[in-house]
């Protein structure tokens, strides 16, 4: 009789399961794949943030640990803070400390709308790195799958983190390298409007994947990059107090409605830009005419940029001519003791006097008594319209080290001028993302903290920020690897790293061109062993490994001495036997077949 009652109860429960579904338990049961999509904030089911005075009010990792609300506020990540990360506009949860602020991914359907190139998640893993597959649903009824990886909040790589916080709440230990959160982007199908996203469903035994925010990233449809530089490190400066920076940059593509990008990459604290302006350069620090003031966030004169984030100005009534020097002025009202910088600018910029106040609107240059040889904070200028951008990803040769300062003779400058003076092909912008001392496979700068090293994180770790998130990027040219082989990386590892870059760029729809490594015999550390590695990389790229790329450019053949192929041609050598001089860089820029940079034409 007891058995019969249990059977009847089982039948009754089974009958209550809706047709087309299965009975499940736990978090997954609460979020079936066919559930109606909800805003992420409505399905928060975990609390990650606690006040320092009440650390037990949150349990992020199941062991009683949590993020400090005070640490987040000090980084500029207060409730509701706007965060632009790798080009994506996200919002930190608006909840108070001790209230649910994130979702543990378990197949929930999240309402997300928009068109763009990628879907960006603000995430962290607990219990280890968490990886799972989810689904994007589009308005036209189609779907695509994606794989999302959330590095562990305590042991994930510093070089790709969005922000690091100094300690965790709820435990006696203080992590030596802090705790961290990550912005992770996954590709979308081009041209389709996202309707919702289904989060990954992970096994119960797997690490937990926490999602704090999600948005569709639009890298600037209808915009073209005119100038860019990579953040190469976070170094001590000044300190600068109540001063204005006047930075000199050189445009590639021209166009109307210019805007700038300011980055606080690698920083531990927010930075305030009280005012900014854009002008055509006259001579020195003087503008040709009155600078045009820039605004942020629909009309605000300044912007406060959280640690690790960036900001775009509003499009301004300013037309950028191609091939012109521009002045970008930034007023720093507070004290700045460290800043994200591009170290090898090969260009003098200017610094206003301490206590000099806001001089962003000065036409003359008298208020700028000091010079700078780096580019702090500024990472981009783009314009409305145009066909999009070509990105040069490289090391010191792309960066223009040992070229004539202030003359804009880097090989990407040559390439940009060629695009602007021809009519047969789209007139692409060319964005120079070379970093001196950069490597393909390993980080030179570790990606966190104030450091004198400005060799940047690896090409693999900066690809998202410096290539995939650039305005309307169409093609990437990768000319990098000589530093890897000089400092002990094997040829196989370099080739594998280059192929991985190509694979990721192809997933986002970019055309990928790779260049062979230039000779360096005669430079102090370019030994016979290094030459053997370099030659092996080049042989692989010229051979079967080259099939991973849309084109292979033989920069080695352009630059080498025919009589001593391990060396640079004397006419192209800057004198150190590693870096080409102006003539060598011009030869590289002129050797490029422009058609190879145009999707569908090369």
CA gap 172, 376 in Å, rounded: 38
Structure tokens that stand for 536 in this block = 């092996």
Distance, CA of 66 to chain centre: 27
Q: What share of the chain is helix, strand, coil (3-state, %, to 5)?
A: 20, 35, 45
What single-letter DSSP state applies at residue 367?
T
Distance, CA of 499 to chain centre: 19
Q: Is the pLDDT of residue 271 over 60?
A: yes
CA gap 329, 332 in Å, rounded: 10
CA gap 42, 54 in Å, rounded: 24
Give me the DSSP letters along 520-587: -BTBTT--HHHHHHHHHHHHHHHTGGGGGSSEEE-HHHHHEETTEEEEE-GGGB-SSSSSB-HHHHHH
| Strand ranges across the sheet with 168-169 | 49-50, 66-68, 168-169
Q: Is the pLDDT of residue 35 over 90?
A: no
pLDDT in tens, 422-461: 999 999 999 999 999 999 999 999 999 999 999 999 999 9
Residue among 300, 233, 236 at smallest CA distance from 273: 300
What single-letter DSSP state applies at residue 320?
B
Question: Is residue 22 very low, low, confident or very high in pLDDT (cuts 50, 70, 90)?
Answer: very low
Q: What is the pLDDT of residue 177?
A: 72
Structure tokens that stand for 330 in this block = 């930034």
- Find the range with the poorest average confidence among 118-127, 170-179, 491-500, 541-550: 170-179
Element (H, E) at 305: strand 303-305
The pTM assigned to this predicted structure is: 0.93
Q: Which residues are 85's β-sheet partners?
A: 88
Measured at the CA of 312, the angle between CA 310 and CA 315, to 5 degrees, comes to 175
575 close to 545: Cβ distance less than 8 angstroms: no
pLDDT in tens, 205-232: 999 999 999 999 987 678 999 999 999 9
Assign domain 387-602 to a CATH class: alpha beta
Q: Phi then psi for 226, rounded to 5 degrees? A: -100, -40
In this prediction, residues 504-512 reach a mean pLDDT of 96
Residue among 420, 29, 493 at smallest CA distance from 251: 420
CA gap 102, 280 in Å, rounded: 46
Q: In this prediction, what percent of the chain has a pLDDT beyond 90?
A: 90
Q: In this prediction, what percent of the chain has a pLDDT beyond 70?
A: 93
pLDDT in tens, 180-209: 999 999 999 988 999 999 999 999 999 999
581 close to 411: Cβ distance less than 8 angstroms: no
CA gap 561, 3 in Å, rounded: 90
């Amino acid at each position: 009789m007891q058995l019969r009652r249990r059977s009847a109860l089982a039948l009754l429960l089974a009958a209550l399961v809706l047709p087309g579904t299965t009975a499940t338990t736990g978090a997954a049961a609460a979020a079936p794949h066919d559930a109606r999509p909800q805003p992420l904030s409505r399905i928060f089911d975990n609390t990650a943030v606690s006040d320092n005075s009440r650390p037990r009010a949150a349990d992020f990792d199941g062991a009683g640990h949590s993020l400090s609300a005070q640490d987040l506020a000090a980084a500029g990540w207060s409730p509701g803070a706007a965060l632009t990360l790798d080009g994506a506009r996200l919002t930190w949860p608006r909840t108070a400390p001790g209230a649910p602020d994130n979702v543990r991914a378990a197949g929930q359907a999240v309402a997300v709308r928009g068109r763009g190139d990628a879907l960006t998640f603000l995430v962290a893993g607990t219990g280890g790195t968490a990886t799972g597959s989810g689904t994007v649903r589009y308005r036209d009824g189609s779907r695509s799958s994606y794989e999302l990886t959330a590095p562990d909040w305590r042991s994930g790589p510093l070089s790709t983190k969005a922000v690091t916080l100094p300690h965790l709440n709820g435990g006696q230990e203080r992590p030596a390298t802090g705790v961290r959160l990550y912005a992770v982007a996954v590709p979308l199908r081009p041209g389709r409007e996202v309707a919702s996203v289904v989060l990954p469903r992970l096994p119960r035994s797997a690490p937990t994947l926490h999602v704090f925010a999600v948005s569709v990233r639009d890298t600037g449809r209808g915009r073209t990059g005119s100038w860019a530089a990579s953040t190469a490190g976070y170094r001590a400066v000044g300190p600068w107090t109540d001063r204005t920076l006047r930075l000199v940059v050189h445009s590639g593509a021209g166009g109307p409605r210019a805007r700038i990008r300011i980055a606080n990459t690698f920083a531990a604290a927010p930075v305030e830009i009280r005012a900014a302006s854009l002008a055509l350069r006259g001579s020195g620090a003087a503008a040709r005419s009155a600078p045009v003031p820039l605004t942020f966030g629909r009309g605000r004169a300044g912007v406060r940029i959280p640690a690790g984030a960036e900001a775009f100005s509003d499009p301004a009534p300013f037309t950028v001519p191609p091939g012109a020097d521009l002045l970008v002025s930034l007023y720093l009202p507070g004290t700045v003791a460290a800043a994200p910088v591009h170290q090898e600018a090969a260009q003098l910029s200017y610094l206003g006097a301490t206590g000099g106040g806001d001089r962003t609107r000065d036409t003359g240059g008298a208020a700028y008594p000091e010079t700078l040889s780096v580019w702090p904070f500024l990472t981009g200028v783009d314009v409305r319209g145009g066909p999009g951008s070509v990105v040069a990803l490289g090391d010191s040769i792309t960066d223009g080290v040992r070229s004539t300062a202030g003359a804009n003779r880097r090989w990407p400058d040559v390439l940009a001028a060629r695009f602007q003076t021809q009519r047969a092909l789209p007139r692409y912008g060319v964005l120079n993302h070379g970093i001196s001392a950069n490597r393909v496979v390993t980080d030179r700068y570790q990606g966190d903290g104030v450091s004198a090293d400005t060799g940047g994180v690896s090409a693999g770790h900066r690809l998202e920020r410096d290539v995939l998130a650039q305005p309307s990027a169409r093609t990437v040219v990768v000319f990098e690897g000589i530093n890897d082989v000089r400092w002990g990386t094997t040829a196989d590892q370099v080739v594998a790293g280059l192929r991985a870059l190509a694979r990721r760029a192809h997933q986002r729809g970019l055309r990928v061109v790779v260049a062979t490594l230039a000779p360096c015999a005669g430079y102090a550390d370019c030994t016979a062993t290094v030459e053997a590695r370099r030659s092996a990389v080049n042989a692989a790229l010229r051979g079967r490994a080259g099939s991973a790329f849309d084109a292979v450019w033989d920069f080695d053949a352009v630059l080498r001495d025919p009589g001593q192929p391990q060396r640079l041609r004397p006419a192209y050598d800057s004198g150190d036997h590693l870096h080409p001089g102006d003539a060598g860089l011009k030869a590289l820029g002129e050797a490029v077949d422009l058609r190879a940079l145009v999707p569908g034409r090369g």
